């Protein structure tokens, strides 16, 4: 029996590649986005495709998308939380509004959709929830404090969620991609905080130049990542985490080595903090 997938942010970038790859294997796709006409045009026609309006920051949209899914296909097997934005800037330049927008598009947006989906999966006694996080969910980067905060939040939320939903036959997986050639760094997706602190101005200009130059030059192929996701979903059990890309593997290994050094450096002091018996 073919599976039913819901993919957020399916009109471009990774989400578009995911949707096309899933349709190609004969599964059904609920492709969502804020602009359904754009999503439909990007993916093309298919009897196995349902395009639904979904702004992930609006819980009512999430509820409506799930209802439309059940009305059309009767079940929902795989949720891919992919939609996100990128609010770049030095923390002192980022306003509270910037931070809220980053969290809304990347963390609480995914929570809204998952909250709407979980009752369906609980009733089925099965389901898979996949969160497209980032290497920035494991490693902090200069100029990415808001984005890293949101992605670290995604990782912690999904790790905790797994223990809560496992008794219902629901599995979760965090995907931490490195740099993939998507539209995340395009002007439509990335917003740079205006400079409000002159001490950062020179470095800010260098950072923006570097990020803009990286757009379209990323080494990762999102079509191959889409195939990797299908391979993992086909397994009897989802891995709890998938590090995606050779560059991501390198950065995560460096972080693991640093963590080990930090653990070892003060092990004696850390171990001495219990009440004296």
What distance in Å separates the CA atoms of residue 80 and residue 66, rounded to the nearest whole number?
13
Strands 28-33 and 49-53, how do they pair?
A: parallel
Mean pLDDT of 130-146: 96
**Domain chopping of the chain, boundaries:** 4-246
Residues 6+ apart with CB under 8 A from 83: 8, 9, 15, 32, 33, 56, 105, 109, 110
Q: Which residue has the higher pLDDT, 127 or 188?
A: 127
Active site residue 147: yes
Hey, how many other C-beta atoms are within 10 angstroms of the C-beta on 141?
14
Q: Which residue has the higher pLDDT, 218 or 261?
A: 261
Catalytic residue, candidates 90, 147, 192, 200: 147
Q: Residue 193: is its pLDDT beyond 70?
A: yes
Which CATH number is associated with domain 4-246?
A: 3.40.50.720
Give the pLDDT band (50/70/90) at residue 211.
confident
Bridge partners (DSSP) of residue 174 are 131, 241
pLDDT digits (tens, 9 = 90+) for 9-46: 999 888 999 999 999 999 999 999 999 999 999 999 99
5's torsion region: left (phi>0), alpha (psi -120 to 50) or beta?
Answer: beta
Q: Residue 216: is its pLDDT beyond 70?
A: no
Give the pLDDT band (50/70/90) at residue 3.
very high
């Amino acid at each position: 029996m073919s599976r039913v997938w819901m993919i957020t942010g399916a009109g471009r970038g990774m989400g578009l590649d995911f949707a096309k790859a899933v349709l190609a294997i004969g599964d059904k796709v609920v492709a969502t986005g804020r602009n359904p006409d754009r999503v439909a045009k990007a993916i093309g026609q298919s009897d196995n495709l349902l395009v639904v309006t979904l702004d992930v920051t609006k819980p009512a949209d999430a509820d409506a998308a799930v209802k439309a899914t059940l009305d059309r296909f009767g079940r929902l097997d795989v949720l891919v939380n992919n939609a996100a934005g990128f609010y770049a800037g030095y923390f002192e330049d980022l306003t509270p509004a910037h931070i809220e927008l980053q969290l809304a598009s990347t963390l609480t947006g995914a929570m809204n959709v998952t909250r709407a989906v979980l009752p369906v999966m609980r009733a089925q006694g099965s389901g898979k929830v996949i969160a497209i996080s980032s290497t920035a969910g494991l490693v902090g980067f200069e100029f990415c404090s808001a984005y890293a905060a949101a992605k670290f939040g995604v990782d912690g939320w999904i790790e905790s969620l797994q223990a809560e939903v496992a008794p219902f036959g629901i599995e979760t997986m965090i995907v931490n991609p490195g740099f993939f050639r998507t539209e995340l760094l395009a002007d439509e997706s990335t917003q740079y905080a205006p400079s409000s602190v002159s001490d950062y101005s020179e470095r800010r200009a260098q950072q923006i130049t570097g990020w803009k130059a990286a757009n379209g030059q990323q080494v990762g192929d999102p079509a191959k990542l889409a195939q990797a996701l299908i391979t993992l979903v086909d397994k009897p059990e989802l891995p709890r985490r998938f590090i995606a890309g050779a560059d991501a593997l390198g950065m995560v290994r460096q972080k693991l080595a640093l963590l080990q050094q930090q653990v070892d450096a003060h092990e004696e002091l850390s171990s001495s903090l219990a009440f004296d018996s």
